[in-house]
Structure 1
């Protein structure tokens, strides 16, 4: 028994002694320019609040109106990214983002049925400002085409998923059910956040 255990120990030792490093490595420490474009807005609280708020607003208006944002929002992000690259300016700022958050929150809280054209215009302007803002951290070595593809892809995914979840949640009950009240309450919280952001941006 002891001899067998000794032979097993020797065999394991020889096996591990012959192991060499696999030489595996991460393709890019920054996860690649595509993934950088996709992950960058998800690490920014302003992007998260505005994108989710807009998706909820579009979903609360119904699929027929909100579906246009599936195209309008990514195009707006690309437009903002391109304008920042060509013009060298970054649209928007803390005050603009805060006012947009406040506006979207108030529209949700009031349950206003805004026209599709107005919704698309708001979404496009918001997307342009956030697309330009996301261009602020680009370095000369960044592949802008891959970054833009990642940014547009995550914008499409977030808006589509949030809008779809809101539409599903909204249509599971009657108009007088608690589902609509919950969406309006969420709008009130978003408006409160926007108001605080506006105050902080004006005070700074």
Structure 2
């Protein structure tokens, strides 16, 4: 009798352990949507170019102006994410190309825009790219986790790119600062050229 009683307790304990393991597996699987949101922008060349260009633009204007993007850019991504089903692919592609061309020209010309204009450009860009990422969401995707991952990676890319640009440009007293400014302007020219090619492809299709 005691042996059967012990076997019953062992069987019950095994069932409870399996149930806990299954629940933990479900939670881990749901966390995959967070990582999908964080990695999804790296699958789109437009995200990589535009996010990097925005960070370089902010860094070229100085840390005091660019630091506002640490809040503005992730917020724009979150605002744009629910709008993913509204914009068409062609219109979004043309808007991305126009934004790429505009940011590239500002970098190439070393334009000193005010902080309010920088925040407006960055917010608008983030809304568009948030919508583009949201258009690829499936019905089973946890949108809260996806949005959290997207916002985190947006914050990280903008902050790191801006900080690296500030460090790269150096100070006015640094003798190497002029050629570094020229390098940033040359990068802006390449970004503008890519935006022009993208616009031509979208209009031709």
| TM-score bracket for the superposition, by shorter chain length | 0.7 to 0.9
How far, CA to CA, are the matches of 2:35 and 2:103 in structure 1? Answer: 29
Q: What residue number does 1:196 align with? A: 197
Matched, 1:142 2:114: no
Q: What residue number does 2:184 align with? A: 183
How far, CA to CA, are the matches of 2:169 and 2:63 in structure 1? Answer: 11
Q: What residue number does 1:156 align with? A: 155
How far, CA to CA, are the matches of 1:81 and 1:64 in structure 2? Answer: 28
Q: How far 1:89 moved relative to its partner?
A: 1.1
How far, CA to CA, are the matches of 1:176 and 1:159 in structure 2? Answer: 22
Unmatched 5+ residue regions in structure 1? 1-24
Q: What residue number does 2:32 align with? A: 32
TM-score, normalised by the number of residues in structure 2:
0.81
How far, CA to CA, are the matches of 1:55 and 1:176 in structure 2? Answer: 19
| CA deviation string 1:81-140 (max 9, x = no partner) | 1334xxx41375111000000000000000010000000000000000000110111111
RMSD: 1.9
TM-score, normalised by the number of residues in structure 1:
0.81
How far, CA to CA, are the matches of 1:31 and 1:105 in structure 2? Answer: 36
Q: Which runs of 4+ in 1 moved over 6 A?
A: none
Change (3 A) 1:31 1:149: closer
| 1:1-204 correspondence to structure 2 within 5 Å | 27-28=28-29, 32-84=32-84, 88-90=85-87, 93-172=92-171, 173-174=174-175, 177-204=178-205
**How many pairs does the alignment contain?**
176
Unmatched 5+ residue regions in structure 2? 1-24
3-state DSSP class of the match of 1:41?
A: helix
How far, CA to CA, are the matches of 2:156 and 2:204 in structure 1? Answer: 35
